[in-house]
Amino acid sequence: MVAKKTDGAPEPARTPEDMTFDVIILGSGLAGSVTGAILAKHGAKVLLVDAAAHPRFAIGESMTPQLVEWIHILSERHDIPELKSLASVEASTRDIGPTFGTKAHFGFLKHEVGKEPDPREATQLALPKIFHQNSHMFRQDSDSFMFHVAIRYGCTPRQNWRANEVEFDDDGVTVLGRSAAPGAEPELYRAKYLVDASGFRSPLADKFDLRDKPTARFKHHSRSMFTHYVGIKRFDDVSGHPQELRPPADWHTGTMHHLIERGWFWIIPFDNHPKSRNPLCSVGLTMDERTYPKPKDLTPEQEFQSFLDKYPAVKRQFDGATRVREWISTDRLQYSSKQTVGDRWCLMSHAAGFLDPLFSRGLSNTLEVVDALTARLVPALKDGDFSAERFAYVERVEQGLLQYNDDLVNSSFIAFSHFRLWNAVFRVWGSFITPGTMRLTRARLKHFKDHDVRHFEELEKVPYPGLWWPQSDSFKRILETTAETCEKYEAGALTGDEAADIVFGLLKESPVVNPVFGWKDEERRFIYPNTLTMARFLYWASVEAPAEMNSVGREFLLGIVKAGAKVRKLL
């Protein structure tokens, strides 16, 4: 899609040299800054603009194992060591500041209105300790850090500068905008390519009418409200649950999800390890706006308090706590785009669409898209081919990431009302995190050995871009059948137990679902893989598992052996 220049627009030839760039990036969050740093490292002249300025508040603080791997892959593929400062709480504390929390697990506890939660209606996935400890990213600091990394690599920054008009022609793109400074005159910039990493209020989405209308195409519905607090109590201290019914990892050491009917609270502490000096805690509530219409007669503070009043155990966490910034309260979060790449432009990640923060996929999805885009944009800047066809995979992976997450998150919201069904859906999600991450680690280990970029290019040769394990027909069938089953439960065609039986049956019968961690055992609600468990899993994956898992497990294990003493540094 190429737009024509408007009448009276200045000719590109008259644009001063210092106003001409190879790439203009709209948005200097992590997506824009990481992309800018990569392009600048490869010699591109990059303009990185943003309507706001760093440091600034942002959410999306919970890390995942896949995110850690994409951080390492981008760092090693493009020789940007600073990226690894984001890869673990240890590195972030050392290189950025003592403001990041630690993330030892994903924890989930079911609540009902007016009742104390049953400790038997809880699930938890503790992250394997073979990897460095994931973090709760303090986005004010992580985003500002990467913004300044991008500048050090050569990006030209313009903060507090808003793009007002974007025009394309056969030779490039013209962006007209203005600084927020009083009396500032309009400024015009010229580039060969435009990356829109601005998020929901995408100028390109508006210009080309790219949003699906009248609403997003996703099945899932939710709205959200969020802020930061000080003084949030540890749930371990206020739950009142007996020790023998508690999970192996304290709730406070990870990301806490309090599940309610078609919604969930998040509690993400930044003060949960000894080296942190950050007293803040990220707090949010996400719920189906059809079940909970946004009230017109309540402030966000009042609405949040009304939810706390319904769930006594959650409310105890807030006794004596103080909000430190204003609430942000959204309408429906979901939006989608008919098209995400065109001739000389790309809607990146959250500019392309958004689903829900339930499984912390946002940053992992973002960096996967950064990898796909920069792998094509760097050579495009050398040969001058910026056609949409060249970037077709970027579109496939962006749309796939949203589509498959829609199946999973919609199933989860449906299942929150019935613990057995949630327990089953939890396993569909959790059981494929490890193989999905291992294929990324396998590529990185191979690259470490011979520095051949083809190992990373092989990651794209898959039938289902955007699926967590994108070459697995088995996983795709399990996910799709789970989604169909949960929708039948929602429609009343199945009871909760009948739906749970179907999903548990899928897991138990599947030869690619890892039996070592306990994913097939309904009674094992807390998945806590220790070193011995990981060793048993690697043996199963590399020797006993079927071919689609065996190839991942065997090459992963072989890569670890060949990496030798340096493996701890790698992982």
Side chain identity, residue 317: Q
Pair (143, 128) in one structural domain: no
Which contiguous run of DSSP H or E holds residue 553?
Answer: helix 547-563
Does residue 315 lie within any of the structural domains?
Answer: yes
Omega into 214 within 30° of 0, i.e. cis?
Answer: yes
Query: Does residue 33 sit in the same domain as residue 181?
Result: yes
What percent of the chain stands above pLDDT 70?
Answer: 94
Final residue of a structural domain among 351, 379, 405:
405
Average confidence (pLDDT) over 249-267: 97
Least confident of 6-20, 239-253, 524-538: 6-20
DSSP character string of 167-229: EEETTEEEEEEEESSTTPPPEEEEEEEEEE---TT-HHHHHTT-B-SSS-S-S---EEEEEEE
Look at residue 412 and tell me if it is in a domain. Answer: no
Asked if residue 384 and residue 457 are part of one domain, the reply reads: no
pLDDT at 6: 45
**How many domains, in total, are found in the chain?**
3
Number of neighbouring beta carbons within 10 Å of residue 511: 12
Number of other residues whose CB lies within 10 A of the CB of residue 81: 10
* 106 lies in the same domain as 90: no
Q: Are residues 305 and 449 in the same domain?
A: no
Once rounded to an integer, what is the mean pLDDT over residues 241-252? 96
Per DSSP, helices labelled H in 246-391 are 300-308, 312-317, 362-383
Same domain, 322 and 241: yes
Split at pLDDT 50, 70, 90, the class of 563 is low
Contacts of 564 (CB under 8 A, 6+ apart): none
Q: Do residue 246 and residue 196 come from a single domain?
A: no
Rounded average pLDDT over 1-15: 45
Range of the domain at 270: 102-135+221-329
Q: State the average pLDDT over residues 108-132.
A: 90
User: In this structure, what token pair is assigned to residue 370?
Assistant: 């950064």
Considering the domain architecture, whether residues 476 and 542 belong to the same structural domain is answered as yes
Judge whether 147 and 157 are in contact, CB under 8 Å.
yes
Are 58 and 44 found together in one domain? yes
Within 492-530, residue ranges assigned H as helices are 496-509
The model's confidence at residue 561, banded by pLDDT at 50, 70 and 90, is low
Q: Is residue 3 part of a domain?
A: no
Q: Please list the residues that pair with 230 across neighbouring strands.
A: 280, 322
User: Where a domain ends, among 298, 329, 360?
Assistant: 329
In a domain, 6, yes or no: no
Which DSSP state fits 66?
H
Q: Are residues 230 and 185 in the same domain?
A: no
> Looking at residue 145, which CATH number applies to its domain?
3.50.50.60
Residue 49 amino acid letter: V
Q: Are 161 and 184 in contact (CB under 8 A)?
A: no
Return the CATH number at 244: 3.30.9.100
Q: Are residues 445 and 497 in the same domain?
A: yes
Burial 299-337 (b: 16+ CB within 10 A, else e): ebeebbeebbeebbbbeebbeeeebeeebebeebbbbbb
Could you tell me the pLDDT band of residue 1, with boundaries at 50, 70 and 90? very low
Q: What percent of the chain has pLDDT over 90?
A: 89
For residues 24 and 456, what is the distance between their CA atoms, to the nearest angstrom?
26
Q: Would 486 be classed as within a structural domain?
A: yes
Span 349-407, pLDDT tens digits: 899 999 999 999 999 999 999 999 999 999 999 999 999 999 999 999 999 999 999 99
Query: Measuring CA to CA, which residue among 12, 21, 25, 26 is closest to residue 44?
Result: 21
The answer, yes or no, to whether residue 536 has pLDDT greater than 80, is: yes
Residue bearing tokens 């000894």: 274
Q: What is the pLDDT of residue 325?
A: 97
What are the tens digits of pLDDT across the range 177-220? Answer: 999 999 999 999 999 999 999 999 999 999 999 999 999 999 99
Q: Could you tell me if residue 209 is left (phi over 0), alpha (psi between -120 and 50 degrees) or otherwise beta?
A: left
The reply to whether 400 and 425 lie within a common domain is: no
On whether residue 367 sits in a domain, the answer given is: yes
Establish if 354 belongs to a structural domain: yes
In whole angstroms, what is the distance from residue 516 CA to residue 570 CA? 25
Q: Looking at residue 132, what is its pLDDT? A: 53
User: DSSP class of residue 494?
Assistant: S
CA pair distance 503, 422, nearest whole angstrom: 10
pLDDT-derived band at 560 (thresholds 50, 70, 90) equals low
| Res 11 pLDDT > 70 | no
From 310, 329, 348, the end of a domain falls on 329
User: Residue 1 falls within a domain, yes or no?
Assistant: no
pLDDT at position 2: 38
